[in-house]
Amino acid sequence: MNLHRNISRSKLVRLLSDLTSVEVESSKQDVAERLGLWLDAVGTVRLDAALQSIQTFAPQRPGQGLSANLAAVEAEFQHVRSGLVKTVKASLPLMPTEPDGERAAEYAAYYQRHQEQQRQIESKVAPLRSQVRQVLSRVSTPLRQLAALDALMEQMLGAREQKLMASVPVFLERRFEALRKADQPGWLDTFRKEWQGMLVAEVDVRLQPVLGLIEALSNEVKKHP
């Protein structure tokens, strides 16, 4: 199963760019430079200490049942993602039915639902990420090191990620008001589809670290069939 095909890594950025008419260019900075923008001096020291610590992990031979473990986490990944997407699609506020309902529509209902969905996404993705790390930690030394590093990165960057995700409904509100001002026929339905698409993109963005862990496990399985 190729889970990578199901995830568009740039979808959320592309959607935000389309909605705000902001051109998003690929950064020429390497990973270390981009990470440095996310971490303060204390965080950088913690990361450096963690990298030195995980290098001292005792060697361990690849565990048994790698293929079964891979199949299990892939299945759980798909289960969580499909469940979240289904929840997103079911959370859409009802369309106004009264005369001139589009003009009377307010963004508040979408903002509230968006926050509810973000909490729901986090409540499902965090346990899945932890579960996959536990599997990796039992497989081999390199994967145990990767799992430890991922746990640290989640702890260190989690607050920054939450802050960035909290800005998404603000961009959507601007889009809502722009469409309402233009007052083209069906503008509210257009917004509803965009709002739903943005939430699905958020699901995929939050699942990216999990997908990376699963891909690492898949590579280990290929080395030890």
Instruction: For the chain, give every domain's residue range.
Output: 3-223
Distance CA 171, CA 21 (A): 11
pLDDT at residue 135, rounded to an integer: 93
Q: What is the pLDDT of residue 23?
A: 41
Please give the pLDDT value at position 5: 44
What local confidence, expressed as pLDDT, does residue 51 receive?
63
What residue type is 5 in one-letter code?
A: R
- Fill in the DSSP letter of residue 25: P
In our burial notation (b when 16+ CB lie closer than 10 A, e otherwise), range 162-197 reads eeebeebbeebeebbeebbeeeeeebbeebbebbbe
Q: What is the length of the chain?
A: 225
Return the pLDDT at 95: 78
pLDDT score recorded for residue 164: 83
Rounded distance, CA 164 to CA 195, Å? 17
| pLDDT level of residue 27 (50, 70, 90 thresholds) | very low
For tokens 């746990």, name the residue. 151
Sign for the CA dihedral angle at 67, 70, 74, 79 comes to positive
Using the predicted structure, report yes or no on whether residue 159 has a pLDDT greater than 70: yes
Q: Please report where in the chains the tokens 């590093």 appear, as a residue.
A: 149
Dist. CA 23–CA 207, nearest whole Å: 25
Q: Would you say residue 29 has pLDDT above 50?
A: no
